[in-house]
Structure 1
Amino acid sequence: MPDNKSRPSQDQPWENGWAPDTSRAPGTRRLWLAGGMAVATIVACVTAIAVSERESDKESPSASSATENTSYPGLISFASPSATPPRGKSGLSTDRPATRSPGQQHATTPKPAPDPSKSPSREGSSPTAAPKPPATTGRSVRSVNYPDRYWHVSDGYVRLDRVQGSESREDSTFRQVKGLANSSCYSFAAQDGRYLRHRAFVLRAERNDGSSLFGQDATFCPRASSSHSGATMLESVNYPGYFLRHRDFVVRLERFEYSSLYLSDSSFQLVGGLA
C-alpha cells in the first residue's frame, strides 16, 4: 500500500518542503488570445486607412475641377491668367473706363439769386438811404425824442439845447451844403463859416483846413430812420455804421445799435432854419 502522507500545509510551503508547480504560468492562453486580437485590430485599421486614401485620391481631381468651374454668390472669383498678353508696350492694357472730370461730377445748375426786394424786413434793421431834401439857405436840426431841443453850437461843441433868444437861434441855424468828401451826402456850416465835424467821436465846429481828413470828418450821409417816420439818421462817411446821436445832450458819433433808445437818440428832423 502506498504511503499516505498528509500534504503539508501550503501556508508555509518552503518551511514544510513543498514548492508550487512553476512549469506553466497561470493565464498564458488568455494572454496569447488578447495579443492575437490586438494584432488583428491593428491590421484591419491600417487596411481601412489605405483603402480610404485611394478612394479620396480618385475623387479629388473631379472635385477640384468642379470647384474651379463653380462660382458662388457673394464671393470674389479670380480668373485664370490668359495666355495672350494685353495690348500695350508695357504689357498692361491701355483701355481705361471713361471718367468724368471733377468739374463735371459736381456741376449743378446755378440757382437764381434771391430778389432783395422780396426779403422780409426786420424792425430795427440798419437804416436805408433817405431821399435828399431840397436845398435851402438855412437848416436847423431838431431832436425826435426831445422836440423842443435843437443842435446848438456852444463853446465849439454841438449840444442839444433849447432855443433862447436871437443869438441862440443863429447858433442853431446851419447851411446845409453838399458833402465835402461826397457830393451825395451833407456837410453843415455854421454862421461864422466853421464846419461841423467829428473829432474824437464828438461833433464840434472847426475851420476847414482843406485836408482830406477834415472833409471826411465833416461829411454825413442821410439814412431814413426805421423807427420814426419822416426822421433822418446821419451816418459818417469815413466811419460806416457810425451815426450821430445825442447822449447827455451832447452830439456824438457812435456805432449803430439795435435798441429803441439809440434809434430815438440818433433820429433828427431837418427843418427850416430858426434864424
Structure 2
Amino acid sequence: MRTPVHDEKVSFSWKPLTETARGRLPPPLLCGPVPANTPRARRLRPAAALALATVAACVTALSMNDEPAERRAATAPITPPDDGPGLLSFATPSTPPASAKNEPDEPSQPPSSPSAPESSAQPKQVPAKSPAPSASSREPVEHGTSVRSVNHPDRSWHLSAGLVRLDPVGSAADRRAATFTRVKGLADARCWSFTTADGSYLRHRDFLLRAEPADGSPLFRQDATFCPRASAFTGAVMLESVNYPGRFLRHQNFQLRLDPYQNTDLYRADSAFRLVDGLA
C-alpha cells in the first residue's frame, strides 16, 4: 500500500553549514578527531609536540638506568692516581741539567791552556808580513829603459842638444843619452813619465819632445805625462798626451813631436814604439 510519503522526492545534495548552524552543533569530544585548520587544532599542536618530547626523555632515562654497572665501569675514563710513578719520573730529569752544566765547564779549561801556544805562534807570523810590502813599495821605478822605433828598429830615442831625436846608437855616450828612467806619470799615476840621467823630465813644448828640469807647475806635470795606448804592432805602444788627447808622440824627419792622430799606415808606424832594456 503506497502512502503519500513514498511519492515524495528525497534530495541528497550537500549544503555547507552556516555560522548559525555551526553554533547549534554540540562541541566535539576531546577524544575524537579534531578537524584541521581550526583554532582548536592550532592550539593542540604545541601541546602534542611537548608531550612527545617528554615521553622520549622518559624512555631514554629508563634505558640508561637499566644498563649494567660493569658496562658503565668499562666505558668510564681511567684517571691515574695522584701518587703514581709518572709524576716522579718527570721530576727526576731536573738533576741531569745540573750535570750537563758541569760538563761544558770542564772543557772550558783546556782552551785556556792552548791559548798560550797560540800567543807564542803569533810572533812567527809578524816578521813575515813586514818585509814583503817594503820590497814591493820600491818597485814602481824602472831603471834603464830605452825606446826603440818600430819602423826603424836600428834607431832609438836619443837626447841631443836638449831635444829627443830618433838616432842610431853606437858609442857609450850615445847609449847613456838613449837610456831613460820610466816612472809613474806626474799628472796621472796610470800613465808614464820619463827622466834623464841628470833628473830632468821629457816633456813636450811647442809640440816638440825635449828634456827640461821640473818646475813644479801643473802645466809641466801635464806636458811630461804620456799614457800608453794599444798599437797595431805586436809588443808596441802609442804614447798619448794627457793635456792634448788625440795627439801622440811620433817621429817625423827623425824628430820626436806631438801630432794629432792620422788614420794612415805611416802615422801608425811612426807612432809605434817598443820599450826595451836600457842600452847603457
Q: Normalization by structure 2: what TM-score?
A: 0.50
- Aligned match for 2:224, one of 212, 218, 221: 218
Aligned to 2:195: 189
Identity of aligned residues (%): 61
Which has the larger helix fraction?
Answer: 2
Determine the structure 2 residue equivalent to 1:173. 179
2:268 to 249, 260, 263: 263
Equivalent position SS for 1:243: strand
SS in structure 1 of the partner of residue 143 of structure 2 = coil
User: Shift of the alpha carbon at 1:159?
Assistant: 0.2
Quote the Cα distance in structure 2 between the aligned partners of 1:135 and 1:261: 32
Alignment equivalent of 1:235, drawn from 240, 243, 255:
240
The correspondence of residues 38-187 of structure 1 with structure 2, limited to 5 A, is 136-187=142-193
| Residue aligning to 2:21 | none
1:228-255 deviation digits (Å, cap 9, x = unpaired): 1110000000000000000000000000
Can you give the 5+ residue segments of structure 2 that lack an aligned partner in the other structure? 1-139
Q: Secondary structure at the match of 2:220?
A: helix
Q: Which residue of 2 aligns with 1:198?
A: 204
Structure 1 residue runs without a partner (length 5+): 1-133
Matched residues in 2 for 1:229 and 1:251: separation?
A: 21
Residue 137 of structure 1 and its aligned partner are, at CA, apart by 1.1
Offset at residue 135 of structure 1 (A): 5.1
Q: Give the match's secondary structure for 2:166.
A: strand
> Aligned-pair RMSD on alpha carbons?
1.3
Q: CA deviation at 1:183?
A: 0.4
The structure-2 alpha-carbon separation of the partners of 1:207 and 1:135, relative to structure 1 and needing over 3 Å to count, comes to closer
C-alpha separation in 2, matches of 1:272 and 1:164: 15
Counting only pairs closer than 5 Å after superposition, residues 17-28 of structure 1 correspond to structure 2 as none
Partner AA of 2:211 in structure 1:
A
Say whether the 8 Å CA contact 2:184–2:191 is kept in structure 1. Answer: yes
Higher relative contact order (CA 8 A, sep 6+): 1
- CA distance in 1: counterparts of 2:143 and 2:157, whole angstroms: 17
CA shift, 1:203, in A, is 0.2
Cα offset, 1:180, TM superposition: 0.4
Aligned residue type for 2:249: L
Relative to the length of structure 1, the TM-score reads: 0.51
Taking the aligned partners of 2:276 and 2:265, their CA distance within structure 1 comes to 23
User: Which string of whole-angstrom CA distances, capped at 9 and with x for unpartnered residues, describes residues 202-223 of structure 1?
Assistant: 0000010010000000000000
Paired with 2:169 and 2:143, the residues of 1 have a C-alpha distance of 19
The answer to whether the 8 A contact 1:219-1:237 is kept is: yes
Give the whole-Å Cα distance in 1 for the aligned partners of 2:142 and 2:184.
12
Q: Please identify runs of 4+ aligned residues in structure 1 that moved more than 4 A.
A: none
Deviations 1:80-137 (A, max 9, x none): xxxxxxxxxxxxxxxxxxxxxxxxxxxxxxxxxxxxxxxxxxxxxxxxxxxxxx8521
How far apart are the structure 1 equivalents of 2:170 and 2:278? 14
3-state SS, counterpart of residue 142 of structure 2: coil
Cα separation, 2, equivalents of 1:206 and 1:136 = 20
Distance of 1:151 and 1:135 partners within structure 2: 19
CA distance in 2, matches of 1:136, 1:200: 28
2:141, 2:181 within 8 Å by CA — same for their partners in 1? no
* Count of residue pairs the alignment pairs up: 142
Distance 1:249 1:272, change over 3 A: same
Note the alpha carbon deviations across 1:157-181, whole angstroms, 9 max, x for none. 0000000211000000001000000
